Amino acid sequence: MRRLRRFLFWLGPVLVLLVAILAGFVYWVVASSPGSRWALETGVGLAGGRVAQIDGTIWAGLRVGELEVDTPAVKIGLADVNLVVDWPALRDRRLHAQNISAGRLSLDVLESDEPPPEDQPFALPAIPVTLALDRIALGELNVSLNGEPVLARVKNLEASLALNAQDAQLVFRRVLLGQQDIDADVTGEFRLLALADPWPFSLAIETNAKSSVPDSLLCARRFLPGLPQSTETEAAASAPSSGEPATELDAISTFCAVDLKATAEGSLDAVSVKLEGSGQDMTLDAAAQLAPREPFPLRTARLQLGLSDGASVNADLDWKSGVDADQVNGQLTVRQLNLTGLAGAGLPEALLSSSLTFAATLKEKTQLQAADLTWKVDDGSRWNGQPLKADVALAIRHTAPVAPDDPGFRADNLQLDVRLGSHQLKGSGRLGWSDTQMQLALSASRLADFWPGLPGGLSVETRLSGAMAAHNLTVKGQYDLNQPGGNTLGEAPVVLDAQVEGGYTARPDLPSAWSGRVTRLDIGHAGVKVDARSPVPLQVVPTAQAPAWLLDVGATKIELALPSRNSVVIDHARTLFSPGRWSTRGDINRLTLSKRIIDEVTAMIDAASPAGGDDRGRVILDVDDRNDLVEITYALNWDFAFEGALSGAAQVRRLGGDMIVPGDPPFPLGLRTLQADLRARPNGNGSSRIDVDINVDTVKMGRAQIQANTLLRTTPEGGFYVSSSDATTVNVSADVADLSWLSLFVGDATDIGGRLTADVQARSRPDGSWQTSGTVSGSDIRFVRIDDGVRLVEGTLQAHMEGDRFVLDSLEFPARRRAIPKEWRTEEWTRANPDAQGGKLTLTGYWDLSDQGGKIEVDLYRYPILQRSDRFAMVTGKIGVDAPSERLDINGEITVDAGWVDLDMLSSVPTLDSDVVVVRAGKPPPKAAPMNIGMNISVDLGPRFYITGYGVDSGLVGEMRIIMDDGRLSAYGALRTRGGAIEAYGQRLQLRRGTITFQGDIASPVLNIEALRTGVAVEAGVRVSGTARRPRIDLISYPEVADVQKLSWLLLGRGPDDSGGDAALLFSVGTSFLGDGEPFYRKFGIDEVSMRSGELGSVGSILPAESVVRGLDSGTSDIERQFMVAAKHLASGFTVSLEQALSDTGTVGRVSYRLARGLSAQLSAGTVNGLALIYRYVARD
């Protein structure tokens, strides 16, 4: 006892001292800044963290600038922490904090590989004190998982928390939530009424969300652009902006803003939830009763959505639990909902008022036992401008599965009746795994009523019967293009009659598949029929994996028949398809074509597009009927496969018959061999090497062999294309015995012929050009245009390919006189003169294939370039034709060695008789593409160029240069006559002067022409001066006399009589002569009218009519002996004339015939009868 007392005596002061030290230490830590800083730094450091900027004390209030804690499970970061606690309140077992705030809180949760702990029922631990947190504030909250943000933005959180043993309360005075461009201001209160199961609570939250971006997810009009607007919204949207950014932002935020108010009350056993919202011209009112602990927590629900235009969507759901099953009833009602406005311009006009009701029975909360659905579209609904009405009923029943893939349901009592305007879709029946009976009928005479732009009308009847393992489907329908009475392609109805039978099989060891066959397939359109001669086997494996196929079409025969009953049979062997790969194989044993078959197909196509034909008709010949019967028969076969690249082969070969070449008239080609082979081999990287080999051999026209190969590439979608960067090679070996087939491409007016041999190789370059090589030679080349008198015959050709250029080494045509000119001087010189012999035409040059330009040099020597009965021209010279891209330059100099033009023939423009009808008259001719042409050609007419006809017989000499630049044609130079005469109005006028001067405009040369009647006392005539556009015609005479006398001396060969009897005739003739029109008598078909003086019926004898004196009268005067002569030239050398005396009644008819130059025979009848042989010789100046 003494020892204990002594021990306590010495130990007591030590313990008191220790307690005092500990109390002082605690006071230093809690109440002093250094102590609080030391305690916080030490504690955070032990936890693996860092703290900085500590101010204040734990007792009076602590502020921390930055705090970080890094643990294996979470990383915590705090900034601007402020802690104020009422520590004395702990004496009353009450933890009271006046302020707990932080500027920023960052949480980064790190995932762990350790398995999560087993779920334990939540139980709130016993709370020894009452908790009161007056202010909880957080400036910004960032939560991430493994460094990736997982929560929306949380800012400006301000809340308070109260917790005791009986209840708890959390009040959100404000919190700002953000996600992308959406900001929400949330306030609310959450109360736990008891801190134990079933956790009764109450919740009230108000949210105001808005976005400043018009295409935000919060903006309903981003998804529903036609959402109706209220009057206030329209006014706000159309009001002019104030220009202040804040005002504009508020307007946008109001437009994309939502106000929500949610309340919930109850417990985990039963909760009542209400939701009210408004914004963007919509209102929302929803309520629900929930059972959170049930598998399907919803018990009842009500939803009302209203739009500003009066449309509404109402939904109700009621779940009633039962002992054996639960009953779920629901209804969805839509009233006056404008679907077009909601969906935007992509939907036609649609206004919907409908109701959907359903009643379902569930077993064990999740297993559907039965369901009845009805859908009604009420009156007032419209679609695409047509009234819409619908009644649909369906009963679904649970059945015991009879197969692994059987879903265990069947649809009974299906009733479908949809009416759109006058159209109807009607169906009925049942659908099940073991028993199906379905009928569906569509009657839609105008598909455009269903969707704008759909052409035609459709009527279809389908029937499906049987079970899933064995069923039958029939389809009968007609597609009408709304063309009443149409019977052409694209207008006639399309009729379909098909029947399919098959079954769905499911086996554990194989994928499920549908196997069957098309037992009937008939398609008809405009007389064309497609018919399956044998059933078409089909197999579809939806879940097929390589090497299995999704679709397998077996062997069958398909017949395609024309209205004339000509047909072709396609022998299809097999086609396989899966996404990204396919294969097909088949052949056509006999494909017979003839002109009649081709004409039938062409006529059907032309009837479908009448404006597409360019044929204007032609004369029908007997050979056409014979050619119509000529047939050619082909055989085709193919075997292709695709799996990333194309592989396989195809062949077309001639079995017999001949091909008719379309010409005028058509002619047989004379085929002996015609075969085309195509082979495809995979080349890697999704490409295939394509080889094409074409062989043609004819009896008369020669042979040709073409070989080509290129790369065929594959697109990601499975299509094919040829890239210009891949090399393509073409080899052509041809021996063409007759080039007459080229006339098909240049028209009927041109005749081309000859023999051609070619051995050419070509290879494409990446830039699109070609590298070519090889030679081309020809013989007996012929180019004839009969209408223009161009005859190039017996030509020889030597050419070769060089790079990207076709080089014409030589194309030479020897001069051959084919037509004999009628003008005697031209005919004599070209026939007898040695200088006119040995002529030729030679062409040399090149043509660039890629640039489509080239240069040709034409060398002519004594070559008869024009040979016709009415014109002839033999020329010598050189012409260069330079044809760069989009331009043609022609330069050269030519001299006419001999030439002749008959003006009578040139003026005789042929016209069609009235009984000739041009097929498709009135169709405008095709417009030729304009070409920039430049020309600079010098023409020298030489010493032997003559003009005859129209009474003219004269030589023409001179030079002129023809120039074309920028579309303007001009000429410079002068042409003049060389002697000669012109016959007009029964007179032969000598050409004393005739000059045509070109000074620019080729259509308006300067004229200076004089023609005189010679051999009389006064030589009278005409002078033409001025320009061709404004010519001036004057009467002239030598010596100079009055105009009346000039006209009289010109026409009558004498001066006018004093009585004035000639005035009327001279005035009429003079007006016609000096005017622009033809002579007046020509309008009556008379070639000559003249007035003469002398003996009526005389033949020009030098002896007098009377040799003795008959009386004292001195005889008649010259005026009394005048008579009128009218003549008509009937044929070459024949002339009929009539002479009528003016002073008496004498009349003489005369027929004359020209026997030779200057010699003629005349037969006269009338007042003077007789036969005369006359020879005339006139000495001219």
pLDDT tens digits along 115-131:
655 555 555 566 777 88
| The predicted structure's pLDDT at residue 922 | 55
Stretch 172-181: mean pLDDT, rounded? 86
Phi-psi region at 683: left, alpha or beta (left = phi > 0; alpha = psi -120 to 50): alpha
Q: What is the C-alpha to C-alpha distance for residues 440 and 416, in angstroms, rounded to an integer?
A: 9
pLDDT tens digits along 484-494:
667 788 888 99
Q: What is the C-alpha to C-alpha distance for residues 211 and 951, in angstroms, rounded to an integer?
A: 99
For residue 689, how far is the Cα from the chain centroid? 30
More confident residue, 816 or 378: 378
Sole residue written with tokens 């005889």: 1115
Amino acid letter for position 624: D
pLDDT tens digits along 1038-1053:
888 887 788 778 777 7
* Max Cα distance, the chain (Å): 223
pLDDT at residue 1076 above 50? no
Sole residue written with tokens 């088949």: 586
On whether the CB atoms of residues 273 and 267 are closer than 8 A, the answer is no
Stretch 952-979: mean pLDDT, rounded? 83
| The predicted structure's pLDDT at residue 516 | 95
Output the DSSP codes for 366-390: TEEEEEEEEEEEPTT-EETTEEEEE
Please report which residue ranges of 47-181 form alpha helices under DSSP H.
none
Q: What share of the chain is helix, strand, coil (3-state, %, to 5)?
A: 15, 55, 30
- Whole-number average pLDDT of the chain: 82
More confident residue, 854 or 822: 854
Percent of the chain scored above 70 by pLDDT? Answer: 83
Please report which residue ranges of 794-922 form alpha helices under DSSP H.
824-832, 903-907
- Beta pairing class for 94-102 and 130-145: parallel
Report the DSSP beta bridge partners of residue 271: 266, 290
Q: What are the strands of the beta sheet with 1159-1166, ordered from one edge?
A: 1088-1093, 1122-1131, 1134-1141, 1147-1156, 1159-1166, 1170-1175
pLDDT band at 240 (very low <50, low <70, confident <90, very high): very low
pLDDT tens digits along 547-600:
889 999 999 999 999 988 889 999 999 999 999 999 999 999 999 988 888 888
On whether the CB atoms of residues 815 and 875 are closer than 8 A, the answer is no
Q: How many helices (H) and strands (E) does the chain have?
A: 13, 65
Report which listed range, 345-359, 514-528, 879-893, is most confident: 514-528
Cβ neighbours for 125, distance < 8 A, ≥ 6 positions apart: none
Of 188, 190, 202, 191, the residue nearest 167 (C-alpha): 191
pLDDT tens digits along 1001-1023:
877 788 888 888 887 888 888 88
| The predicted structure's pLDDT at residue 248 | 41
pLDDT tens digits along 7-22:
666 666 667 677 777 7
pLDDT band at 441 (very low <50, low <70, confident <90, very high): very high
How many CA within 13 A on the CB side of residue 352?
20
pLDDT at residue 231 above 70? no
Rounded to 5 degrees, what angle do the CA atoms 96, 101, 107 make?
A: 120
Residues comprising the chain, all counted: 1181
More confident residue, 1081 or 192: 192
DSSP three-state, residue 981: strand
pLDDT at residue 894 above 80? yes
pLDDT band at 602 (very low <50, low <70, confident <90, very high): confident
Stretch 398-427: mean pLDDT, rounded? 89
pLDDT at residue 152 above 50? yes
Output the DSSP codes for 663-700: -SS-EE--EEEEEEEEEEEEEETTEEEEEEEEEEEESS
Domain boundaries along the sequence of the chain: 580-607+621-715, 950-1075, 1085-1100+1116-1181
Go through 890-916 and write b for each residue having 16 or more CB atoms within 10 A of its CB, e for each that does not: bebebbbbbbbbbeeeeeeeeeeeeee
On whether the CB atoms of residues 80 and 138 are closer than 8 A, the answer is no
Stretch 178-182: mean pLDDT, rounded? 82
Report which listed range, 150-159, 534-543, 1073-1082, 1143-1152, is most confident: 534-543
pLDDT band at 610 (very low <50, low <70, confident <90, very high): low
Q: What is the C-alpha to C-alpha distance for residues 782 and 795, in angstroms, rounded to an integer?
A: 6
Q: What is the C-alpha to C-alpha distance for residues 525 and 154, in angstroms, rounded to an integer?
A: 69
More confident residue, 659 or 270: 270
Of 1169, 1176, 1160, the residue nearest 1098 (C-alpha): 1169
pLDDT at residue 1101 above 60? no
More confident residue, 750 or 313: 313
**Which contacts (CB < 8 Å, 24+ apart) does range 660-663 have?**
660/595, 660/627, 660/630, 661/741, 661/744, 662/744, 663/741, 663/743, 663/744
Of 34, 74, 26, 69, the residue nearest 51 (C-alpha): 69
Output the DSSP codes for 418-455: EEETTEEEEEEEEE-SS-EEEEEEEEES-GGGTSTT--
More confident residue, 150 or 753: 753
Report the DSSP beta bridge partners of residue 807: 800, 846
Where would I find the beta strands (DSSP E) of 701-769?
702-714, 720-721, 729-736, 751-764
Stretch 315-329: mean pLDDT, rounded? 87
Percent of the chain scored above 90 by pLDDT? Answer: 28
pLDDT band at 914 (very low <50, low <70, confident <90, very high): very low
pLDDT at residue 423 above 90? yes
| The predicted structure's pLDDT at residue 245 | 41
pLDDT at residue 957 above 90? no
| The predicted structure's pLDDT at residue 621 | 47
pLDDT band at 1029 (very low <50, low <70, confident <90, very high): confident
pLDDT tens digits along 834-871:
888 888 899 999 988 877 788 999 999 988 888 877 78
On whether the CB atoms of residues 986 and 1125 are closer than 8 A, the answer is yes
| The predicted structure's pLDDT at residue 243 | 44
